[in-house]
A and B are shown apart, each in its own frame.
Chain A
Amino acid sequence: MIATFKYLLKSLREYKKDVALTWLFVLLETFCEILVPFLMQFLVQSIQIVSGVADASSLRTFGPLVQWFVDAINQTGVASPFIYGGIMAVMAALAAMCGIAAGYWSSSASAGLGKNLRHDMYYQVQRFSFNNIDKFSTSSIVTRTTTDVQNVQFAFQMAIRGVIRAPFTLIFAIIMSFITSWKLAFVFVAVVPVLIVLLILLATVVHPIFERIFRKYDDLNEAVQENITGIRVVKAFGRQEEEKEKFNAVSDFLYKNFLKTEKIMAFQSPGFSLLIYGSIIAIAWFGSNIILKSNSAEMNTSGLTTLFSYVMQVMMACMFISMIYVMTIISRNSAERIVELLKETPEINQPENALKEVKDGSIDFENVSFAYGNGGKVLQNINLHIKSGQTVGIIGSTGSSKTTLMSLIPRLYDVNEGTVKVGGVDVREYDIESLREAVSMVLQKNTLFTGTIEWNLRWGDENASMDEIKQACQIAQADGFISSFKDGYQTMIDEGGTNVSGGQKQRICIARALLKKPKILILDDSTSAVDTHTDSLIRQGIKEVIPGTTTFIVAQRILSVKDCDLILVMDKGIITEMGNNEELMEKSEVYRDLYISQIGGGDFDAAE
């Protein structure tokens, strides 16, 4: 656990100075603050003397340092309540200033740590290959960079001051108690360990229970979410009453368990008070004995007031120590998740002396096999030679690894065996950026980003002219609907592109890919939501306007691939048949079956 936090703290970098300053000022603040109750006894004593309650001659003596200080003040001759009051006021002011300074630096230190952690993680993710991303899953990466960093940041902000403040308050307060009355100070020595142990024990017992309850609570919320998502099904089957019963049962479970835990937690406050009051009473009783029996020589009544004040400070410090403990436990999981991401090694790296030029769009797969992570092979012994400018269709059921095959071309994954060549050269010899510049892939799970349509299209080419953008959109059959929008190309896309229809989104994505002017274009099931007619217009456009581009069309619809120069039929990671439409109709039963069941059927739903 310590190693985890140590690793995180590496990201402090330029904020180390802020941490050091925080600690310095917290130390000073704590010191000044602890002096205030100590000085209190002199203030009270001086009041006792001026009011005639006590005799100046009956003053007790302290150790040399404190005695020297008391003598020096007595010699000034000024009415001493004001002197002591003045010194205390100065201490309070100093403590306030140091406290503010500590807050100032601790703020920048914790915000800085948060910033650097987010920065390190985000930059790390940018280096990730597809394999790395798959391993963590996007949603987990998002949680790690947002929620987990926030948890750690808040814990750090609490801890950074507390780790100095709480122990030093304890130490200073106990030292000053010893100076005031070494006998009575043993009350603290007895109570403090008990208190700390009890608090930490309580936290250790209760925290896991709470964690369990909250997990159940999350389950409940998940069930609600499921219910809301499926409300049509619930209503269609008339299952409202059963859903209620189910919910109320979990809700009841939560209620009972919350209650159980709170019954344990209910001991904390009275227990804590018991120790405080117990200490006060012990000090009062033994103090009274010491004072009376020694006739104020060992300690006087004003010393009692100092000790009474320290009771509170010492107890609060103990409380804080247990709080830091709990915070550490809470943030531990987050810290571990962050470190795990930071320690991940990016899988695909830039080769040395990388080639920057992709000659043409020819592609060769030579004995290629591939597996995701440690899983089984999803591609086996693929041999395939595509000439530059060919149009290739790929068809096959889900899980037949069509997408995987395509992903190897822009080196989104590295092969396990064999070689993938683009333009006659192994993809691993290219500069990654140049390779991906030449290969344009429209992903199956495609995304548009918040911004205007034009801005989104410019992902393909930052410097494209408006004419080029329009031309790409015309090929992708997107210009028409974009122009029909009120704001045309300046229409804002909502996050995730939810304000355009599925088919429109796909067409914008195709246009974006076309703008790269690639040598190789891969359309991975990119027109599934586009109606058959528009689909054919897009294919026609690509063929006519950019004929030299090698084009791959991965599709579920026979209609989308039937005119390709070459059609691959895939099944379970193997190319089972290849040829053009006529050849496959002849020799492939699978293809023929698909053809018959689909052609003519079209898709009644997709027309817009």
Chain B
Amino acid sequence: MPPSRGKAMARKPLSAKESKGTLKRLFSYIFKYYKFEFWMGITCILVSTITGVIPALLTGQIVDQLDTALKTMNEYIKAGNQIAATNTMNEALAYIGIEILIVVGIILVGLTCNYFYQILMSKLGQGTMKKIRDDLFNHMQDLPLSYFDTRTRGDLMSIYTNDVDTLREAISRSLPMLVQSSFTMIVVLVSMFIRSWALAIAVIVLVIPTVLISKTVSGKSGKYFISRQAAMAKTNGYVEEMINGQKVIKVFNYEKRAKAGFDKVNDELCYHATKASRYASLLMPIVNQLGNLQYVIIAIIGAGIIVSGGASWTNITVGTIVTFLSLSKQFTQPIGNLAQQASSVFMAMAGSARIFALIDTPAEKDEGYVELCNAIEGKDGEPIECQETTGKWAWKHPHGDGTITYTWLKGDITFTDVDFSYVPGKPILKNISLYAKPGQKVAFVGPTGAGKTTITNLINRFYDIEDGKIRYDGININKIKKKDLRRSLGMVLQDTVLFTGTVKENIRYGRLDATDEEVEAAAKLANADSFIRQLPNGYDTVLDKAGMNLSQGQRQLLSIARAAIANPPAMILDEATSSIDSRTEKLVQEGMDAIMKGRTVFVIAHRLSTVKDSDVIMVIDDGEIIERGNHDELIAKKGKYYQLYTGNSIK
């Protein structure tokens, strides 16, 4: 058995350098595939933000124009010149009308850009995500099994569910917002300075306390949120464990104690949740009202400047103040956004680092060059390569000198002094030598953890051996392409894995070009046909949740059929233990027996009949073959096999 899986991967934030590297990597994806979208998007954002400040400028402008017009009008009225007053009014209105039309035009351009930038960004974001997702999955397919052994399924899944998700959020939402917010700040700042440098400076000075307060509050509330998260995890963990064991609770009358334990964690969660949320909700009212306060102060400063006669050299009018009231708001708002989005981008960086770590893990190496090919028999029994399916296979072995030799695929397997360890220094198999002639049945027996499964995992190169040699039809398996090697070896695992899909698809997994008739024939051979026909849609019944709607025995039958359809010369079988009920067990047994016929078989055996039928039995203990021989020989020996067989220990 492979080494036990490690604790959950540490989820710690990245250092600045690491995030920089990850960010770079991310951008290299974007630039590789979406250069055009990126630059067009940026241009559109820029145009749309610039046009975004126009209404604020317009309102100030109009207020000033109205004020001037009113003043002139009133002077004419005082002088009794009603016609001139009306003319002034009409001129002002016409002027304002033209202004508004121009602004409407500009705004329409801006809004169009806004629309296009969103479309471009979503294409870029979703597209990049798809590329990353595909790379992630595709690379994972090529990773060696040892990678999967050292990680829990939960850990791997969390890369797909959490990390890819946060990254998707960050790329499609936070990143554009970040860009937009920074642009807005710059554009607004520039317009403020153009309009009035004095008030612009005032705004900047006034923004500082807002920033400081936001930073302090969000920093502190972050801490409370962490403790809330911890309390939440604790409560959820408690609920999960207790409810999963609810039946045990009932049987042991444990309800009262289970409630007391729950109340404790639940109250704790409520305390932390209240505190975290209270702290977080300080922020909005304070920042909002500081914004309003900022209004007042800008107005009063502006008024002060105008009254003290500074208007001429600071270029401040009432209209300027009105413009600044909106501009200051447009300036403050992105600050909050920026802080929020930045933190989500950083979180996503930590996630992407894990994604890239998986993509960077070296793939399973395959230096094999010997291939499996269809063959027909030559005059003197030698294999000759051919294209059509003949039902006969040969190893195609190219040599350094350019010649190619062919060897029949027979299923002859030998181990010579094989050593193996999952973790260097902790040998699992020691000095294993064995051979199986074509058509022979080799049974492995021995206690759990003795190394039976490991031996079979070496034959198909799930793991590579440390020392010694394994030969397949006389060829060192290191020279055989993994795909071809595995194609020549059927495999039925003990914990049967099926995939969501129809029964037919699951059987066809063994050979993709199999016809419906071949699928049924394989099912018949595996003894699975009768139960499949009883399923609601027969061979087209969809297996939910990887076949969880079938019994363990039925799943086993399907996996036998799946192996049978490939019709390989050699097979590795891991018999199910006694957890299958006796009725199905009989079917499974017969199915197994049927596909073992005429093949070289390595079987991890639990059933007496299988063992008795074997040509040779290897008793494995602690990584070594301690006894070998057939049933009768081993019984006579009265060793470990005898002990296992009779269920009695020998005193």
Residues 281 to 337 of chain B near chain A (Cβ within 8 Å): 281-282, 284-286, 288-290, 292-293, 295-297, 299-300, 302-303, 306-307, 311, 317-318, 321-322, 325-326, 329
Q: By the criterion CB–CB under 8 Å, are A142 and B239 in contact?
A: yes
Q: By the criterion CB–CB under 8 Å, are A284 and B62 in contact?
A: yes
Q: By the criterion CB–CB under 8 Å, are A47 and B247 in contact?
A: no
- Indicate whether A378 reaches chain B with its CB closer than 8 angstroms: no
| Residue from the list A97, A233, A247, A288 in contact with B62, Cβ < 8 A | A288
Q: What is the CA–CA distance of A106 and B648 in the complex, to the nearest angstrom?
A: 69
- Indicate whether B403 reaches chain A with its CB closer than 8 angstroms: no
Fill in one digit per residue for B67-111: 1 if any A CB lies within 8 Å of its CB, else 0: 101110110010000000000010011001100100110010011
Q: What is the CA–CA distance of A239 and B486 in the complex, to the nearest angstrom?
A: 10
Interface footprint category on B: 35 or more
- Indicate whether A364 reaches chain B with its CB closer than 8 angstroms: no
A contact residues around B92 at 8 Å (CB)? 288, 292
- Indicate whether B499 reaches chain A with its CB closer than 8 angstroms: yes
Q: By the criterion CB–CB under 8 Å, are A259 and B126 in contact?
A: yes
Q: By the criterion CB–CB under 8 Å, are B289 and A243 in contact?
A: no
Residues 233 to 266 of chain B near chain A (Cβ within 8 Å): 235-237, 239-255, 258-259, 262-263, 266
| Residue from the list A100, A106, A128, A222 in contact with B286, Cβ < 8 A | A100
Q: What is the CA–CA distance of A607 and B545 in the complex, to the nearest angstrom?
A: 32
Q: What is the CA–CA distance of A95 and B117 in the complex, to the nearest angstrom?
A: 37
B contact residues around A247 at 8 Å (CB)? 134, 137-138
Tell me how far the C-beta of B120 lies from the nearest C-beta in chain A, rounded to whole angstroms: 10
Fill in one digit per residue for A201-240: 1 if any B CB lies within 8 Å of its CB, else 0: 0000000000000000000011111111111111111111
- Indicate whether B541 reaches chain A with its CB closer than 8 angstroms: no
A contact residues around B216 at 8 Å (CB)? none
Name the residue of chain A whose CB is nearest to the CB of B552. A398
Which of A442-450, A477-485, A538-546 is the contact stretch?
A: A442-450
- Indicate whether B361 reaches chain A with its CB closer than 8 angstroms: no
- Indicate whether A133 reaches chain B with its CB closer than 8 angstroms: yes
Given A95-B285, A244-B138, A603-B606, A142 contacting B244 (CB threshold 8 A): yes
- Indicate whether B189 reaches chain A with its CB closer than 8 angstroms: no
Q: What is the CA–CA distance of A399 and B552 in the complex, to the nearest angstrom?
A: 12
- Indicate whether A373 reaches chain B with its CB closer than 8 angstroms: no
A contact residues around B295 at 8 Å (CB)? 36, 40, 88
Fill in one digit per residue for A245-266: 1 if any B CB lies within 8 Å of its CB, else 0: 0011001101100110011011
- Indicate whether A350 reaches chain B with its CB closer than 8 angstroms: no
Q: What is the CA–CA distance of A15 and B605 in the complex, to the nearest angstrom?
A: 63
- Indicate whether A74 reaches chain B with its CB closer than 8 angstroms: no
Q: What is the CA–CA distance of A221 and B160 in the complex, to the nearest angstrom?
A: 7
Q: What is the CA–CA distance of A460 and B252 in the complex, to the nearest angstrom?
A: 7
Tell me how far the C-beta of B40 lies from the nearest C-beta in chain A, rounded to whole angstroms: 14
Q: What is the CA–CA distance of A608 and B269 in the complex, to the nearest angstrom?
A: 43
Fill in one digit per residue for A287-313: 1 if any B CB lies within 8 Å of its CB, else 0: 011011101100001001100110010
Q: By the criterion CB–CB under 8 Å, are A289 and B59 in contact?
A: no
- Indicate whether A118 reaches chain B with its CB closer than 8 angstroms: yes
Fill in one digit per residue for B221-234: 1 if any A CB lies within 8 Å of its CB, else 0: 00000000000100
Residues 445 to 461 of chain A near chain B (Cβ within 8 Å): 445-447, 449-450, 459-460
Fill in one digit per residue for A266-293: 1 if any B CB lies within 8 Å of its CB, else 0: 1101100110010011001100110111
Q: What is the CA–CA distance of A44 and B67 in the complex, to the nearest angstrom?
A: 12
- Indicate whether B55 reaches chain A with its CB closer than 8 angstroms: yes
Residues 28 to 75 of chain A near chain B (Cβ within 8 Å): 29, 33, 36, 40, 43-44, 46-48, 50-51, 53-55, 58
A contact residues around B277 at 8 Å (CB)? 103, 106-107, 110-111, 157
Q: By the criterion CB–CB under 8 Å, are B246 and A133 in contact?
A: yes
Given A111-B270, A281-B55, A229 contacting B281 (CB threshold 8 A): no
Q: What is the CA–CA distance of A285 and B499 in the complex, to the nearest angstrom?
A: 66
B contact residues around A13 at 8 Å (CB)? none
| Residue from the list B115, B240, B551, B607 in contact with A267, Cβ < 8 A | B115
- Indicate whether A119 reaches chain B with its CB closer than 8 angstroms: yes
Q: By the criterion CB–CB under 8 Å, are B157 and A224 in contact?
A: yes
B contact residues around A263 at 8 Å (CB)? 119, 122
Q: By the criterion CB–CB under 8 Å, are A600 and B273 in contact?
A: no
Q: What is the CA–CA distance of A496 and B491 in the complex, to the nearest angstrom?
A: 30
Q: By the criterion CB–CB under 8 Å, are A228 and B153 in contact?
A: yes
Q: By the criterion CB–CB under 8 Å, are A262 and B126 in contact?
A: yes
Number of A residues with CB within 8 Å of any CB on chain B: 159
Name the residue of chain B whose CB is nearest to the CB of A139. B244
- Indicate whether A384 reaches chain B with its CB closer than 8 angstroms: no
Q: By the criterion CB–CB under 8 Å, are B299 and A44 in contact?
A: yes
- Indicate whether A242 reaches chain B with its CB closer than 8 angstroms: yes
Q: By the criterion CB–CB under 8 Å, are A556 and B246 in contact?
A: no
A contact residues around B246 at 8 Å (CB)? 125, 128, 133, 138, 141
| Residue from the list A98, A107, A230, A606 in contact with B497, Cβ < 8 A | A230
Q: What is the CA–CA distance of A242 and B562 in the complex, to the nearest angstrom?
A: 16
| Residue from the list A92, A138, A533 in contact with B647, Cβ < 8 A | A533
Q: Which of A99, A288, A605 has the most chain B CB atoms inside 10 A of its CB?
A: A605
Q: What is the CA–CA distance of A55 and B70 in the complex, to the nearest angstrom?
A: 10
A contact residues around B239 at 8 Å (CB)? 118, 122, 142, 145-146
Q: What is the CA–CA distance of A229 and B460 in the complex, to the nearest angstrom?
A: 19
B contact residues around A244 at 8 Å (CB)? 134, 137-138, 141
Q: By the criterion CB–CB under 8 Å, are A103 and B282 in contact?
A: yes
Name the residue of chain B whose CB is nearest to the CB of A601. B608
| Residue from the list A88, A102, A133, A228 in contact with B296, Cβ < 8 A | A88
Q: By the criterion CB–CB under 8 Å, are B645 and A92 in contact?
A: no
Q: What is the CA–CA distance of A436 and B254 in the complex, to the nearest angstrom?
A: 11
Name the residue of chain A whose CB is nearest to the CB of B500. A226
B contact residues around A594 at 8 Å (CB)? 582
B contact residues around A55 at 8 Å (CB)? 74
Tell me how far the C-beta of B448 lies from the nearest C-beta in chain A, rounded to whole angstroms: 6
Q: By the criterion CB–CB under 8 Å, are A96 and B493 in contact?
A: no
A contact residues around B69 at 8 Å (CB)? 292
Fill in one digit per residue for A99-121: 1 if any B CB lies within 8 Å of its CB, else 0: 11011101110111011001100
Q: By the criterion CB–CB under 8 Å, are B141 and A119 in contact?
A: no
Given A29-B285, A222-B500, A559-B647, A262 contacting B122 (CB threshold 8 A): yes
Q: What is the CA–CA distance of A238 and B488 in the complex, to the nearest angstrom?
A: 10
Q: What is the CA–CA distance of A111 and B272 in the complex, to the nearest angstrom?
A: 9
Q: By the criterion CB–CB under 8 Å, are A443 and B63 in contact?
A: no
- Indicate whether A412 reaches chain B with its CB closer than 8 angstroms: yes
- Indicate whether A495 reaches chain B with its CB closer than 8 angstroms: yes
Q: By the criterion CB–CB under 8 Å, are A292 and B123 in contact?
A: no
Q: What is the CA–CA distance of A38 and B419 in the complex, to the nearest angstrom?
A: 86
- Indicate whether A579 reaches chain B with its CB closer than 8 angstroms: no
Q: By the criterion CB–CB under 8 Å, are B66 and A142 in contact?
A: no
Q: By the criterion CB–CB under 8 Å, are A47 and B70 in contact?
A: no
Q: What is the CA–CA distance of A585 and B493 in the complex, to the nearest angstrom?
A: 35
B contact residues around A556 at 8 Å (CB)? 578-579, 581-582
Tell me how far the C-beta of A365 lies from the nearest C-beta in chain B, rounded to whole angstroms: 19
Q: By the criterion CB–CB under 8 Å, are B292 and A36 in contact?
A: yes
- Indicate whether A428 reaches chain B with its CB closer than 8 angstroms: no
| Residue from the list B129, B160, B605, B646 in contact with A224, Cβ < 8 A | B160
Q: By the criterion CB–CB under 8 Å, are A446 and B248 in contact?
A: yes
Q: By the criterion CB–CB under 8 Å, are B318 and A48 in contact?
A: yes
- Indicate whether B392 reaches chain A with its CB closer than 8 angstroms: no
A contact residues around B551 at 8 Å (CB)? 398
Closest CB pairs A-B (n = 7): A99-B285, A103-B281, A398-B581, A601-B608, A532-B647, A230-B497, A107-B277
Sample 25 A-B pairs with CB under 8 A, ordered by A number: A44-B322, A48-B318, A91-B292, A103-B281, A111-B274, A111-B277, A115-B273, A122-B259, A252-B130, A262-B119, A267-B115, A273-B111, A277-B111, A281-B58, A281-B100, A288-B62, A295-B73, A301-B70, A305-B63, A308-B325, A412-B247, A445-B247, A496-B244, A533-B648, A556-B581
Extra contacts besides A103-B285, A146-B235, A447-B248 (4): CB < 8 Å = A96-B290, A231-B148, A265-B118, A280-B55
